[in-house]
Structure 1
Amino acid sequence: MADPDLQEAASALDADDRLTGAFVAQVIAALDDGDNEAARALAEPLHPADIADLFEQVPAHDRAGLAAALGDKLDAEVFAEMNEWVKSELLDLLDAGQVAEIAQALDTDDAVAILEDMDAGDAQDVLRAMTPEDRAAIEEALSYPEESAGRLMQRDLVAVPEDWTVAQVTAFLHERPDLQTDFWEIFVVDEGMLPVGTMRLSWLLTTPPDIAVADLMQRDQTLIPVDMDQEEVALRFQKYALISAAVVDLKGRLVGVITVDDIVHIIQEEAGEDILKLSGAGDGDINEPVFDTYKTRSRWLIVNLGTAMVSSSVIAAFAPTIEKFVVLAALTPIVASVGGNAGTQTMAVAVRALATNQLTEANTRRTIWRELRVAAANGLTVATLMGIGTALVFQNPMLGGVIAAAMLFNILVAGMAGVIVPVLLDRFNFDPAVSSSVFVTMTTDTMGFLGFLWLATRAGLTG
């Protein structure tokens, strides 16, 4: 017979394992009625990840009440799954001792994620409330650069000397009550804590006890420098299909481990971050305060306003031509728009290729040539359709030829700009995901207007 708690939890979720609107409304109603017991009874059977989702789903003014209703059910596991903005809001409701208790129950990387977003004074209060051992581990992690392997790694790992036997390793694992519970491989180190190999648990379980670790271990391993950027760490995990990897300090000593479950979050974050940067939407989190979102988006809108004025100045320069043939004003945006879309397509491919190390110095020229060929094929197709359509609609073959030529030219420009702009930004150590869209859009708009209106002027088009 099914556990009634599991049945109750399941009824709160839809077919895609998302909290249902009816369930969330029921929790909100209980909170509004001041019935904390009912709210706790509803939320208690849920998985910690679903409880974290529940905090995101309820209105901001109900979150403090939900936290009070859950009591000790709002534990470290829930905080580890929680949205960063919501987590920060809830931590402000707790005192330093409560935050310290939660942080000490988390893996080091999750505890660091909590403290690094706090004000310096509040973070110090939390650190003082911790045990000396936990405080030392977190302070060491906070000394590393943000978004580095040092911030991401866990300090809890299993390491043994290479002169042990399988029997000694097995006895060590059985005799250590404080041993980390979740691990996939054992690291083998020398006397100076330098990693010399790894040993999978499956090998340990299937090998005779008298075999030496040195004969069983795999000496080739992927080592992660402690100051490596987390995005580069994720790329190494993807490239070499790693489950876990040792992290070493500047002297090559083993100081931590990164596991694939941490990397899954990083891959998701980095992928979403690049997409949002391309659009200038900031963090793109619906839980972010309105004013913070406004500041981020308004900056890029103002930058776009400046680049749009550059494009509009090109149109102003051809005002006499437009006055003679007013239909040009209606067709000009089409040339710029199609070029902009073509540039965005190429730019998105280039930014992703740079992020995944597919586009490097060795193949940049080949990539530009490839995108030019794609642009030429697309340009010929779209320009032919647009040219024929324009000639038929306006009964003006010359106008059709002019717009076809301008569109082909602008799509070729878009193909080049979509690759060259991200590559140049990357070469000069600017994030191509942040700045590329502004420059590519300005280039395609300006060249689209310039190409079309210049050709129209040269062709002597008049109404």
Structure 2
Amino acid sequence: MSTTAPAVPVADIEDHEALDEDYVLTAGFVEKVVDAADDSDGLRLRSLLEDLHPADVADLMGFLTAEHRAVVVLWLPPELLAETLPELDDGIREEVLERVPNATLAEALQELDSDDAAAVVEDLEDDQREKVLAAMPAPERAAIENSLQYAEDSAGRLMQREVMAAPLFWTVGDTIDHVRAQGEDLPELFFDIYVVDPLNRPVGGIPISGLLRAARSVKLSDLMEPVNEIAADTDQEEVAYIFEKYHLISAPVVDAGGRLVGQITVDDIVNIIQEENREDILRLAGVSDESRGAGVFGVVRSRIPWLIVNLGTALFASSVIGQFANELEALVYLAILMPVVASIGGNAGTQALTVAVRSLASRELTSANAVRILSREVTVGLFNGVVVATLLAGVAWVWFREPLLSLTIGLAVVINLLAASLAGTLIPLALDRLDRDPAVASPVFVTWITDTIGFFSFLGLAGIILL
């Protein structure tokens, strides 16, 4: 991912009052942009925006209406437009792309590395994509088309094809001279030089810092270190895991034949980690990725299915309560305390579930340590259950002066927190084994189990102990 961007001179920020001390766009600056867009004052818009960082321009687009965005995007300089497009939320980017003339877009894409350009082109409609690609020079067009041949969310789609490679027999001096002579054809940003054999297969890598410290006569073969090759069809989540585990800054990407086809740099991985974490957080709540540009019906479609599933599980839990109608009629205070048991169980289940899903995503929870983790969570559930049960039993005794009721609700809480710990750990593990995303379905089923076990244990014990 390219990091070249217009600098943000302090004087300009202060003049425009664009950012506050937390690097957030100020309401006053957004209002200035809106006023200029309403007046179709292109020169004023360009003056306001030309010194902003692309990330801030993308943030600004999220605060504007579609009508204002349509005006603003036409006055962005091509280079700034190019750097802004990859930063936009997906929904907003698709809308913006519809407004940009094909020739302007083709010019802007040439300013991007191949990975960012491919990400933008991917969002174009088929007819617009053909026209934009046709307006680009052959080398840039070929690079984008080759990137789009790889599966979405794969290393091949994530990588940039621009890479610095050197043959095994070169010296440090040869390499430095090549970099200086071919600077415009090299990646905008690179951290390592990959040493390749005659078949263009990477056999090692050399950090730029190591290259610059070595004498010109030193051979690359004497400096190179082993590299972590990444297959082009590797899933981007797996790529992020490799980068995190081995503390990589960049890594070569190879095709099925082991030939060097590109590189992935750490700035791309930061985006992937943020994206995966955002998806996990949203999925834990049963929703999809909803950006500021998401429409009402799209949001409804993403949320309603799991609400319907939750309705079914809630009705099942209610049917359990219905089996104890006589107990509730005889002891009205059971209805008062019943939600407490379910609520505490639900919170405990969410705690265990969050830890399990995060551990699965980071590979900290595997079949090798599943029994130990499960044992830990059950022990935690037992201790927490005893502590909370003691407190709740004391409150019930002060409230109702019924010792047996205190005993009943205390036992029910211990049982439900044990069930919550088991469900919060076992359900994500089971879904992961079935190749299902544990972050999506787990919350509904954990809530179902804690509600059902909570109601059944409390009312069942009440029927045995109190009646």
**Could you tell me the TM-score, scaled by structure 2's length?**
0.94
| RMSD of aligned alpha carbons | 1.7
Q: Cα gap change, 1:407/1:232 in structure 2, threshold over 3 Å: closer, same or farther?
A: same
Aligned to 1:226: 232
**SS of aligned partner of 1:92:** helix
Q: 1:157 aligns with which of 156, 163, 166?
A: 163
Report how far residue 60 of structure 1 moved.
Answer: 2.4
Q: Work out whether 1:337 is the aligned partner of 2:343.
A: yes
Q: Work out whether 1:213 is the aligned partner of 2:220.
A: yes
Report how far residue 165 of structure 1 moved.
Answer: 1.3
Report how far residue 37 of structure 1 moved.
Answer: 2.3
Q: 1:328 aligns with which of 325, 334, 342?
A: 334
CA distance in 1, matches of 2:152, 2:377: 35
Report how far residue 8 of structure 1 moved.
Answer: 4.4
Aligned to 2:197: 190
CA distance in 2, matches of 1:405, 1:370: 21
**SS of aligned partner of 2:368:** helix
CA distance in 2, matches of 1:313, 1:120: 52
Aligned to 2:146: 140
Q: 2:36 aligns with which of 22, 25, 30?
A: 30
CA distance in 2, matches of 1:451, 1:103: 62
Q: Work out whether 1:130 is the aligned partner of 2:136.
A: yes
CA distance in 1, matches of 2:107, 2:121: 12
CA contact (8 A) 1:351 1:422 kept: yes
Query: Comparing 350-359 with 40-49, which one deviates more in the overlay?
Result: 40-49
Task: Name stretches of at least 5 consecutive residues in structure 2 with no aligned partner.
Answer: 1-7
CA distance in 1, matches of 2:360, 2:71: 46
**SS of aligned partner of 2:436:** coil
**SS of aligned partner of 2:74:** helix
Q: Work out whether 1:252 is the aligned partner of 2:246.
A: no
**SS of aligned partner of 1:336:** helix
Aligned to 2:369: 363
Which digits, 9 at most, give the CA deviation of each residue in 1:241-264, with x for residues without a partner? Answer: 111001111121111100001111
Q: Work out whether 1:350 is the aligned partner of 2:356.
A: yes
Report how far residue 79 of structure 1 moved.
Answer: 1.4
Aligned to 1:115: 121
Q: Cα gap change, 1:350/1:332 in structure 2, threshold over 3 Å: closer, same or farther?
A: same
Aligned to 2:209: 202
Report how far residue 71 of structure 1 moved.
Answer: 5.1
**SS of aligned partner of 1:199:** strand
Report how far residue 238 of structure 1 moved.
Answer: 1.1
CA contact (8 A) 1:13 1:20 kept: yes
1:394-433 paired onto structure 2 within 5 Å: 394-433=400-439
Which digits, 9 at most, give the CA deviation of each residue in 1:381-419, with x for residues without a partner? Answer: 001111121122111111111111011000000000000
**Could you tell me the TM-score, scaled by structure 1's length?**
0.95
Which digits, 9 at most, give the CA deviation of each residue in 1:272-330, with x for residues without a partner? Answer: 11000000121132221121111111122111111111111111111121111122112
Aligned to 2:19: 13
CA distance in 2, matches of 1:141, 1:327: 65
Aligned to 2:5: none
CA distance in 2, matches of 1:134, 1:70: 22
Aligned partner letter, 1:359: L
CA contact (8 A) 2:16 2:48 kept: no
Task: Name stretches of at least 5 consecutive residues in structure 1 with no aligned partner.
Answer: none
Aligned partner letter, 2:219: A
